[in-house]
Amino acid sequence: MRTPIGLVYLFRTILPKLLLPPFLVYVLLNLTNNTSAGATSSGHLSTFSTWLILFLSLLTHPIYLFLSVLYTNVRNKRDAAKRNAVLIPQVELGSFEIVRKIVESFTKGYPGDVYHEWSKTYGNYFGINILGESRMMTFEPDHIKAILATQFDSFVKGPILYDQFGSLLGSGVFNSDGEMWKFHRTMTRPFFSKERVSDYDIFDRHAEVIIRAMKKRVGAGYPVEFQDAVSRFTLDSATEFLFGKDVNSLGAGLPYPPPPSSSSPFAPSSPPQTETDFIPSHPSNLFAQSFLEAQELTGFRTRYGIHWRLFSGEFWADEVGKRREVVESGFVEPVLGELMREGKGKKEDQEEEGKEETFLNHLVRCTEDKQIIRDELLNMLVASRDTTASLLTFAVYVLSQRPDIEERLREEIYEALGRSDKRPTYEIIKEMKYLRAFLNETLRLYPPVPFDARSSTTATVIYSKSGPPVYIPEGMKCLYSVFLMHRRKDLWGPDALEFDPERFLDDRLHKYLTPNPYIFLPFNAGPRICLGQQFAYNEASYFLIKFLQSFGEIRFADDIQYLNDASNKNGNGDNGPLMYVKPPEEWALAQEEGRKEMEGTTKGRDKVMFTMHLTMAVRGGLWVRMKSLDKGSDLEEDV
């Protein structure tokens, strides 16, 4: 039986800090008391009473904390003054209130809602303290540029993030620093060459399978849970690209919608008993579910700072580690073990041929350390599966709200490929300017990684054209949000909150983005810029083309989407777990009335709720209805 990780943390880290200083003071005072009592012959010398000694001992830790904070503040103030910089303005709330607001914002609120609220008081950067961990939040482009690029060596992932993400990502490229990061980066880079990421054979195979499955659902009169469908597509594409063998998540079929209310005008309301094309017990579902839960739990850790073991629900066990074991044992280990055995005999032959068939095969040639290989595979799986799934999910969500954009995209597809289901090539996709602009606008308003962080390795100063130099103490966790930065009207113009792909094609591109490229960072920047950026663009472009060649009249199925909403008075969980999937009506009302708290935010405009772990997704999935486009259909003729 394993010792609870929270208990280990409590005894190794918390209790020594809490108990050792008072204990030492208690012993010292007792010794002083005994010495003083023995030094007087009359015994009338005033001595410390037992209760006073105990009282003074218990005061030791609060006094130490007070003096420590005071010393740190004085030191930082002096150091900042020497550098002609200002201190970060601090949110004037207690740690537990800050944690409560952050957790509530991420579970019931709009992305970054609490940070947007604080920015109205403190500006585009501010400091918070979470249970002893000092953090800065910024959505100032010059600050982010310094953190990611111009002062790259002064900011690292750091030990806190490594501790929080280690159970899932290990020492992989997204969770390492220094020489280990350079090793992973060097090892990974060759596999994301233009030739490899523009080979569409893998995309085509898996896109055909998922489109057939969606057509079957649409033909039977059901809506489709698009986020689930596209996650299966990206999972199978990613695992084949990385391992040379996919997990066949598409073999499990697509889930049916829960039965709508009796008043729903849509039919059919539930799948016939004879339907067997969705297999909940399919092995790939366990793989995908474990992988998702591991990411959700990892994201939850970050909200509780350095003491996540005590507050994040993992006191008794490393729940993330358990999920990773399922992912590894169910798929990674069998494939890795087989390749490692083959690699020992084929390594020299492959080197002579200069051939790497898969990413896993490439890793086996680079190192025989199985743990390094496991960590890197999990890191790449997160990147290649979840970021593209997020991009495609929000792209189709937008299309479900904007038929004008759907029509414009289809026009461009027909111009480039005709009205057939002709397969797009890299050269054709490169010339589809509106498609690229549409993807960029989706990435602007719905970035897959809306929040990220680094830690300062040394005291430094970061600069901004819009404000004074800012002093960053050593060891500070620096969070930055592209989600909030991408919505700033002073950076993107008065229509920054509107979804408009044309901004990447017209004069606004040269007015706002060209002179200030760091206002748009969906794939990060600097030495750690995403290696799979072009892979994601290619995969998303290819799938959207095939999807729009096959379906039209995409509409949001709100009657299905909101069935399991936690605020639904009639909800009892019969249709699945209750969660906050429907934006509160007061949000939309506040937007309509133009209330002050809605300034600078799209809160109240979206019809879905968001969830965030390592990447952003639609909470509860994205249910859409659509029309299958057969040759000669009315929709094809109208376009």
DSSP β-ladder status, 477-481 and 451-456:
antiparallel
Closest CA to 235 of 284, 304, 178: 284
Distance CA 548, CA 421 (A): 10
Distance CA 595, CA 487 (A): 18
Residue where the block lists tokens 């897959």: 448
Segment holding 423, helix H or strand E: none
Please answer whether residues 254 and 214 qualify as being in contact, where contact means their C-beta atoms are separated by less than 8 angstroms.
Answer: yes
C-alpha of 638 from chain center: 40
N- to C-terminal Cα distance for the chain? 65
Distance CA 100, CA 108 (A): 12
Residue where the block lists tokens 């195979």: 205
Closest CA to 540 of 253, 276, 233: 233
Distance CA 109, CA 105 (A): 4
SS3 content of the chain, % helix, strand, coil (to 5): 60, 10, 30
Q: Has 530 been labeled as part of a binding site?
A: yes
**Number of residues that make up the chain:** 639
Distance CA 105, CA 301 (A): 15
Please answer whether residues 484 and 105 qualify as being in contact, where contact means their C-beta atoms are separated by less than 8 angstroms.
Answer: no
Helix boundaries (H) for 328-452? 333-353, 359-366, 370-381, 387-401, 403-417, 426-430, 433-445
Give the phi and the psi of residue 638 in degrees, each rounded to 5: -75, -30
Segment holding 554, helix H or strand E: strand 551-556
Distance CA 428, CA 425 (A): 5
Please answer whether residues 222 and 254 qualify as being in contact, where contact means their C-beta atoms are separated by less than 8 angstroms.
Answer: no
Distance CA 382, CA 386 (A): 6
Please answer whether residues 77 and 87 qualify as being in contact, where contact means their C-beta atoms are separated by less than 8 angstroms.
Answer: yes
Task: List the binding residues.
Answer: 530
Task: List the binding residues for heme.
Answer: 530
